[in-house]
A and B are shown apart, each in its own frame.
Chain A
Amino acid sequence: MKNLLFLLFAMLAGCAQPQLRGTGDLGVVIERAAGRVLIVDSSARARLGSVDGLGDLSHASVVFSRDARFAYVFGRDGGITKVDLLTQHIDRRVVQAGNSIGGAISQDGRLVVAQNYEPGGIKVFDAQTLELLADIPSTYGSDGLRAKVVGLADLPGNRFAYALFEAGEVWVADLSDPRRPQITKYRDIGKQPYDGLVTPNGRHYLAGLFGEDGIALIDLWQPQLGARKILAHYGRGEEKLPVFKMPHLRGWAVAGQRAYLPAVGRHEVLVVDTSTWQEVGRIAVKGQPVFVMARPDARQVWVNFAFPDNGWVQVIDTLDHKLVDTLTPGKAVLHLEFTPKGEQVWISARDDNRVVIYDTQTRQPVGEIPAESPSGIFFTSRAARIGF
């Protein structure tokens, strides 16, 4: 009897005691059509659970709190959902715009910023409570029009850089006093910036241009120099192919001394030396690149492609700029994400309803996770990176 009581007590205690664990190997996978995220563990290569009720995730992106416990999920419908990865619950959720494209988190982790299409602009929130702190409309020109905001990136000093699609401008918002934002505007940076990135050291902001061949570059250490154009005329005046999906830019484009950038409307990856910002090569690939992502050690660059070439993934060796592999992970590859040190890459195959895990050294699949129409994959290692 005494034994039985003891056992019962031990069992109860076991139930009450939360299982302690870290979040460094966790991540989320967006199930875009279901309005749900999966919480995944890249050590176990397994799904831990799911959280639903996140609204329209047809375009979604995620940033992480600096303690890597919370994922802020930005949905198409203007929703920001703060998901607790440990309890697998929604901590808070606000709908802050009609049409949104993503967000960023400040250097000190206290501010979450959403970038919006409709109404165009950015909004600044307290990361803990999601209370609105500032609303900065992207009004440009003299007619009171608001541009769609793209390419939002956090910078050192609680600043954020972003581009205005219709206006052809880049704005830098200093949010060191979040209720009194200071905006620096760079005008005439080029036609139709579609996305942007900041280099991993936080120094250079690049805005990819859709309306012309080239990329706008701002040296944030020397803002007085203004914006200049690199890779101008990379299309050599040839008519570009129809672009069925816009490429995406982030600091993952930088591998060591070089940046690997998608050519818009061409089956090419452009290679730039980041000390001179001159083109040093271009690599012919299978389709129009969407994500061009360096493995964390910078030895490989993995590329996926726009419709209708979205069944392929190619791997570039950065030592000699040769393609070393062409993979077929599944139908409609939408995204890829490396584990923190890059031994695995997780690839979402939307139309096969699975995430396929590859060993990046052997480039063989080593596992898969079922998911309903998966799109973005985001690991918590982003929490510690500038520009993510």
Chain B
Amino acid sequence: MRSLFRLLCFTLALALSPQAAADPAPARQHELIRLVRQDCGSCHGMTLKGGLGSPLLPDNLRDKPAASLVATVVHGRPGTAMPPWKTILAEGEAEWIVARLLTGFPSE
């Protein structure tokens, strides 16, 4: 019974998580936009058209599942120059960034 309850909670949490993950606060959103444009921009270009790193425009990312893009941001890509950003970004923030990259990233 107890394990069933646990399973139920787990399932509920999973089901709710997209809604439960609140967008970052407006001030933090502003910081994240600047971070992506300026600091991700050192490799991906401020316009995100690419550089040493891959281009990150919606057309370049269309075929890639959001979850794998979030994993790339959080954990990096070993063997390439893409570092893990987990010390800088919370997972929810990485999700927020990826969602915006897929639809066209806002300007500062």
Binding site for B on A (CB under 8 A): 32-33, 56, 58-59, 76-77, 99, 101, 117-118, 148, 150, 165, 192, 194, 210-211, 242-246, 307-308, 332, 350-351, 373
Contacts and interface: CB of A to CB of B under 8 A. Distances in A.
Given A242-B84, A242-B85, A308-B88, A58 B45 contact: yes
Contacts of A332: 38
B87 A243 contact: no
Given A56-B45, A99-B45, A244-B39, A117 B81 contact: no
Contacts of B39: 244-245, 307
Given A242-B76, A307-B39, A58 B46 contact: yes
Interface in B55-93: 76, 79, 81, 83-85, 87-88
B29 interface: no
> What does DSSP make chain A's interface, helix, strand, loop or mixed?
loop
A59 B81 contact: no
B49 interface: yes
Contacts, number: 65
Given A307-B39, A332-B38, A244 B83 contact: yes
B104 to A, nearest CB: 17
Contacts of A192: 81
A201 B39 CA distance: 34
A32 B83 contact: no
A156 B35 CA distance: 41
A76 B85 CA distance: 24
A56 B41 CA distance: 12
A308 B34 CA distance: 13
Contacts of B34: 351
A244 B76 CA distance: 11
Contact of A165 (B47, B52, B83, B108): B52
Nearest to A310: B39
Nearest to B42: A245
Most chain-B Cβ atoms within 10 A of its Cβ — which of A58, A165, A350? A58
B81 A210 contact: yes
B33 interface: no
Contacts of B51: 58-59, 76, 99, 101, 117
22 contacts: A33-B108, A56-B47, A56-B49, A58-B45, A58-B46, A58-B51, A59-B42, A59-B45, A76-B49, A76-B51, A77-B49, A99-B49, A101-B51, A101-B52, A117-B52, A211-B79, A242-B85, A242-B87, A244-B42, A244-B88, A246-B52, A350-B38
